[in-house]
A = this chain, B = another copy of it.
Amino acid sequence: MDEMKILTFAGSLRKESLNKKLCQQVVNFLQAQKLADAEWIDLRDLEIPLYDEDIESTHGDGTPALVPIGVQKLWTQVQEADALILASPEYNGAISGVMKNTLDWISRKKPSPIAGKHVLFLAASQGALGGVRGLWHTRVPFEAVGCHVYPEMLGIPQAHQVFDGDGKIKDEVTKQRLEKLLQNFVHFLQ
């Protein structure tokens, strides 16, 4: 079959985000193993504003042309992907505001670019629990817009000690758990 297109992005903006590093390692592994045509986008580059219906209705007339450029780009990339792999921090036991705001914008396009897509959730966290509680909260709105959320998830605790200076995962156990999960997910997609 044709190679699967997988889009990855992180639910945090800061440059040294552990979840961005995680996305990059996912892309590297999927490409190196020829498991998928994987791409990472940095939400910071898209400069997506906080959702405000007036942005659409004041500057817009219902045509996508007047929606923020970054949002339009994301619509296209989500639409073209066969599946998403999203890495998101846990803020206050829940979804990050950045991730939720991104989904709120994605869901404004009709027909939906994200309905029916398969999604795998990952988290990197400096805490002891790896952000998995946040992921259980994060799943909900993605399922509500029609995503097939993969049951298994991976939260990486103490993640600030897990990546080396080049952003590679130096902890062998974590690396193997991640790679096994990615293989299972791609296998499931096929």
A residues contacting B by CB (< 8 A) are 12-15, 17, 44, 48-54, 57, 91-98, 100-104, 107, 115-116, 129, 132-133, 136-137, 139-141, 143-152
| A97 B50 Cβ-Cβ under 8 A | yes
| A141 B101 Cβ-Cβ under 8 A | no
Q: Which residues of B contact A152 (CB under 8 A)?
A: 146
| A100 B103 Cβ-Cβ under 8 A | no
A101–B43 CA distance with the chains assembled, in angstroms? 15
Q: Given A92-B141, A94-B141, answer yes or no on A14-B101 (Cβ-Cβ < 8 Å).
A: no
Q: Given A107-B92, A133-B136, answer yes or no on A101-B50 (Cβ-Cβ < 8 Å).
A: yes
> Contact partner of A93 among B48, B52, B144, CB < 8 A?
B144
Q: Which residues of B contact A143 (CB under 8 A)?
A: 93, 139, 149, 151
Number of identical protomers: 4
A144–B92 CA distance with the chains assembled, in angstroms? 6
A57–B16 CA distance with the chains assembled, in angstroms? 11
Chain B nearest CB: distance from A56 CB in Å?
Answer: 9
Nearest B-chain residue to A115, judged by Cβ? B151
Q: Which residues of B contact A15 (CB under 8 A)?
A: 54
| Apart from A93-B144, A96-B104, 4 more pairs, CB < 8 Å | A49-B50, A92-B144, A97-B101, A149-B149
